[in-house]
Chain A
Amino acid sequence: MNRIDQRFRARRESGRKLLIPYIVAGDPSPGETVALMHELAAAGADVIELGVPFSDPMADGPVIQQACERALVHDVTLRDVFGMVAEFRKGDDETPVVLMGYLNPIEILGYETAAELAAEAGVDGLLTVDLPPEEGELLVPELEKRGLDAIWLIAPTTRAERIRQICDLAHGFVYYVSLKGVTGASTLDVDDVAAHVEAIRAATELPVGVGFGISDGESAARVSEVADAVVVGSAIVRRIGENAGDAAAMRQAVTELLRSMRRAIDAAAPATA
């Protein structure tokens, strides 16, 4: 059982909903990422989603686009990101790390090499935004061989039959994109999310994470009532951007937000154990 399964199982047993923050590796600078990952884990992150910067992030809104641009000023590569995860693993062998990014940096490195380096570094899963299951034949077998999870997205536009097909392929958890649009949008409709999560649960036993449009404790708490895990990206990345010149202030702003979300989620669904 890999770290993702262990973590979800443990949290499910204790009745605690998972909180999954997203940051872009190398934002605002490569030297700060590993320390920030440890801070996230200490502030209540159950899984860390580490964004791999890409020049053309077509599914991301301006906040994450700018984070990618800040990281790419330092020429942060996929190999560098593997190095950051390996460094993080020296101090934390339990918190699962999922890389989230786009296909091209993986494609150019080579599918086998990318999967091999990811496994060696201690990565647990890959979420590749512009790779639907139909195109997964080069990457997915390489991940599976090494016990890495391919995390798949389900969107508000995904119909029931396709939800089943995606869930049949899924490992770890499935990630429901809670709105039509890009990351950082702010029009979350929790009733609508609940209906879709219910449709996903009809198709799989796997835990369901929900992301896109969750910006504060209140929205996190409301989503946690229907989902197993709450993913928070732009709200955190915005605080990194606002404090890019001051590492201490940046870590404080990020961890304050995460702690407030953690409290709100735990208050909405108190742990049973």
Chain B
Amino acid sequence: MSDNTAQSAEVDYARFPDVRGHFGRYGGQFVPELLMAPLRELADAYAELKDDPGFQAELDRDLRHYVGRPSPLYWAERWSRRLGGAQVYLKREDLNHTGAHKINNTMGQALLARHMGKTRVVAETGAGQHGVASATVAARLGLKCTVYMGSEDVRRQSVNVYRMRLLGAEVVPVDSGSKTLKDALNEAFRDWAANVDDTFYIIGTVAGPHPYPRLVRDFQSVIGREAREQILEQTGRLPDALVACVGGGSNAIGLFHPFLTDTGVAMYGVEAGGEGIESGRHAAPLTAGRPGVLHGNRTYLMESDSGQIIGTHSVSAGLDYPGVGPEHAWLKDIDRVHYTSVTDDEALAAFHELTRCEGIMPALETAHAVAYTARLAPRMPADQSIIINLSGRGDKDINTVAALEGIEV
């Protein structure tokens, strides 16, 4: 791995994406002409506001007093001892308002929407975390909010559906295609196309057409910036490894990005291996997919030989997506980040392990990162450290876990 990181040390990460949103061959703007003007309007507004001290101060204030940042970096001492290797630190994004990292991004995009004079936001959601985070900031800013959610996910995540409705959002079940996250994205794009004048589309991950991968990365990078300061303060040195789960990849980019130039920091992105890569029932495009174009960007996809997007499977609705952010596709190709996968069963075991050992119940998405860390840490010496992005809390998943174990709650 030292060879890979030495090679990528020469990359000037700040130069990516380029002005048209490309990370190497990935990214870009593959959308119907109707959306080119609103994307331009968004890119222009963001370029102006991102360096505007007033906007940044407003965002910082909300992140601090509304979201609850900075989130703690917690040394999981008991679990580290049990694993018998590297010291594991948890970046506690689960402690944010609404229980996941998603609100870092929705807060930023909603403020952007208000500055652009938009009165309505739309969002897609898989597990419901991004939908809840969007509905929350919409309530906070007095914006109308419509959330598209695959009907399969509506069933799996009924608690979050009710939360969104309590927050005043309209939740629209999507019955087309595979009835999951990818179809919710299609429907959100269609809504945006029909309502571009007053509507802002809050994409929940580092995918979609430029400038979304860039701006979502920027809003989520607060995770890595804080973690870097916190680990230096607590241990006096940089971590040896970072681990995060990857669906679209926003929590992973958020943690990784501020460390990319630190060549000694290894990075692991953990995809949803579902029932195992060899079973074909998974959601791991970086591990087992190939490049293609979907939802506005070129990236790794789960697709058939004729270019149709194929169904994915994961126990966690938030990772059940056939694509991945284009920056991850690029970081894979240049070997800066190592992408791997764990199965549903490994994630479930890790869910229980962390809950019982540390009293911290991770989201099933996050449990994939926990599971990989359980493999990684024992192979590293005790004086090294790993940071996991504990991207969300598991309360939303207790019905799923109970059902899998035949328990009625």
Q: Please tell me if the beta carbons of B34 and A157 are within 8 angstroms of each other in the complex.
A: yes
Least distance between A92 CB and chain B CB atoms (Å):
26
B residues in contact with A75, CB < 8 Å? 306
Known A129-B32, A135-B28; contact A54-B308, beta-carbon cutoff 8 A = yes
Query: What 0/1 readout, one digit per residue, does chain B (291-324) give for beta carbons within 8 Å of chain A?
Result: 1111110100101011111100000000000000
Q: Which residues of B contact A108 (CB under 8 A)?
A: 290, 292, 303, 305-307
- Docked Cα-Cα span, A7 to B308, in Å, equals 33
B307–A104 contact, CB under 8 A? yes
Given contacts A104-B303, A132-B36, contact A55 B194 (CB under 8 A): no
Nearest residue (CB) in B for A61 is B190
Residue A72 at the chain B interface, CB threshold 8 Å: yes
- Contact of A130 with B30 at beta-carbon distance under 8 Å, contacts A56-B177, A180-B196 already known: yes
B340 within 8 A of A: no
Chain A contact surface mostly:
loop
Smallest beta-carbon distance A252→chain B, Å: 29
Q: Which B180-225 residues have a C-beta within 8 angstroms of A?
A: 182-183, 185-186, 189-190, 193-197
Cα distance A166–B306 in the bound complex, in angstroms: 29
Question: Is A159's beta carbon under 8 Å from chain B?
Answer: yes
Q: CB of A147 within 8 A of chain B?
A: no
B37 adjacent to chain A (CB < 8 Å):
yes
C-alpha spacing A147/B361, complex, angstroms = 61
Question: What are the interface flags for B23-49 relative to A under an 8 Å C-beta threshold, 1 for contact and 0 otherwise?
Answer: 000001111111111100000000000
Q: Name the contact of B36 in the complex, choosing from A72, A103, A162 (C-beta under 8 A).
A: A162
Residues of A within 8 A of B32 (CB): 58-59, 129-130, 153, 155, 177
The reply to whether A103 and B30 contact each other, CB–CB distance below 8 Å, is yes
- The proximity string for A residues 64-92 relative to B, scoring 1 for CB distances below 8 Å and 0 otherwise, is 01000100100101110000000000000
The answer to whether B115 has its CB under 8 Å from any CB of chain A is no
Name, among B33, B295, B303, B309, the residue most crowded by chain A CB atoms within 10 Å (CB to CB): B33
- Chain B: CB-nearest residue to A101: B307
| Docked-complex contact B29 and A158, CB < 8 angstroms | no
Residue B235 interfacial (CB < 8 Å):
no
User: Are B306 and A59 interface neighbours, CB within 8 A?
Assistant: no
A155-B37 in contact (CB<8A): yes
Q: When the two chains form their complex, are residues B186 and A180 in contact, meaning their CB atoms are under 8 A apart? A: no
Cβ contact within 8 Å between A156 and B29: no
Whether the Cβ atoms of A158 and B37 lie closer than 8 Å is: yes
Closest chain-B Cβ to A211's Cβ sits at a distance in Å of 12
Determine which residue in B30, B31, B35 has the highest number of CB atoms from chain A within 10 A of its CB, and name it: B30
- Residues of chain B within 8 A of A77, CB atoms compared: 306
- Asked whether B293 lies within 8 Å of A56 as measured between CB atoms, the reply is no
Find out whether the CB atom of B190 lies under 8 angstroms from the CB atom of A180: no
A129 to chain B, nearest CB (A): 5
Shortest CB distance A29–B (Å): 17
The reply on B7 being an interface residue by CB < 8 A is no
Q: Is A181 located at the chain interface by the 8 A CB criterion? A: yes
Given A58-B189, A58-B295, A135-B28: A185 in contact with B307 (beta carbons within 8 A): no
Residue with the highest number of chain B CB atoms closer than 10 Å, among A55, A59, A102, A130 = A55
Residue B176 lies at the interface, judged by CB distance under 8 Å to chain A = yes
Beta-carbon contact of B34 and A180 below 8 Å: yes
Task: Enumerate chain B residues within 8 angstroms of A157, measured Cβ to Cβ.
Answer: 33-38, 196
The reply to whether the CB of B20 lies closer than 8 angstroms to some CB of chain A is yes
Q: Does A15 contact B (CB under 8 A)?
A: no
Quick check: B292 and A107 within 8 Å, CB to CB? yes
Report the minimum CB–CB distance from B122 to chain A (whole Å): 13
Per-position binary interface string of chain A over residues 107-146, scored 1 when its CB falls under 8 Å from any chain B CB and 0 otherwise? 1110000000000000000000111101100000000000
Q: Scan B355-383; emit 1 where CB is below 8 A from any A CB, else 0.
A: 00000000000000000000000000000
Which residues on the A side are within 8 Å of B307 (C-beta)? 54, 78, 104-109
Are A132 and B292 in contact, with the CB atoms below 8 A? Answer: no
**In the assembled complex, which residues on chain A have CB atoms less than 8 Å from the CB atom of B296?**
130
Q: How far is the CA of A79 from the CA of B306 in the complex (A)?
A: 8
Q: Which residues of A contact B309 (CB under 8 A)?
A: 55-56, 104
Chain B residues lying within 8 Å of A72, measured Cβ to Cβ, are 308
In the bound complex, how far is the Cα of B138 from the Cα of A194, in angstroms? 37
Residues of A within 8 A of B308 (CB): 54-55, 72, 104-105
Interface assignment of A152: CB less than 8 Å from any CB of chain B: yes
Q: Does A150 reach chain B (CB closer than 8 Å)?
A: no
Interface residues of B in 142-201 (CB under 8 A from A): 176-177, 182-183, 185-186, 189-190, 193-197
Cα of A158 to Cα of B303 in the assembled complex, Å: 32
A154 CB-CB contact with B under 8 Å: yes
Which of A58, A62, A102, A129 neighbours the largest number of chain B CB atoms within 10 Å of its CB?
Answer: A58
B184 to chain A, nearest CB (A): 11
Cα A59 to Cα B34 with chains together (Å): 9
Task: Determine the distance from Cα of A271 to Cα of B218 in the docked complex, in whole angstroms.
Answer: 59
A76 to B298: give the CA distance in the assembly, Å: 23
Say yes or no: B30 contacts A181, CB within 8 Å: no
Most buried by A among B35, B36, B37: B36
Task: Across the interface, name the chain A residue whose C-beta is closest to B183.
Answer: A56
Measured CB to CB, the closest approach of chain A to B303, in angstroms, equals 7
Partner among A153, A181, A182 whose Cβ is within 8 Å of the Cβ of B33: A153
Cross-chain contact of B34 among A61, A131, A155 (Cβ < 8 A): A155
Contact A177 B182 (CB under 8 A): no
Whether B306 and A78, one on each chain, are in contact in the complex, defined by CB atoms closer than 8 angstroms, is yes
Interface residues of A (CB under 8 A from B): 54-59, 61-62, 65, 69, 72, 75, 77-79, 102-109, 129-132, 134-135, 152-159, 162, 166, 177, 180-182, 185
Can you name 7 A-B residue pairings with CB atoms under 8 Å? A55-B177, A58-B190, A65-B177, A102-B293, A130-B30, A135-B29, A153-B33
9 smallest A-B Cβ distances: which pairs?
A181-B194, A105-B307, A108-B307, A77-B306, A157-B37, A155-B34, A153-B33, A55-B308, A59-B32
Known: A57-B186, A78-B306, A157-B33. 11 other contacts (CB 8 A): A56-B309, A58-B186, A59-B193, A105-B308, A107-B307, A108-B290, A108-B305, A132-B29, A135-B29, A180-B194, A185-B194
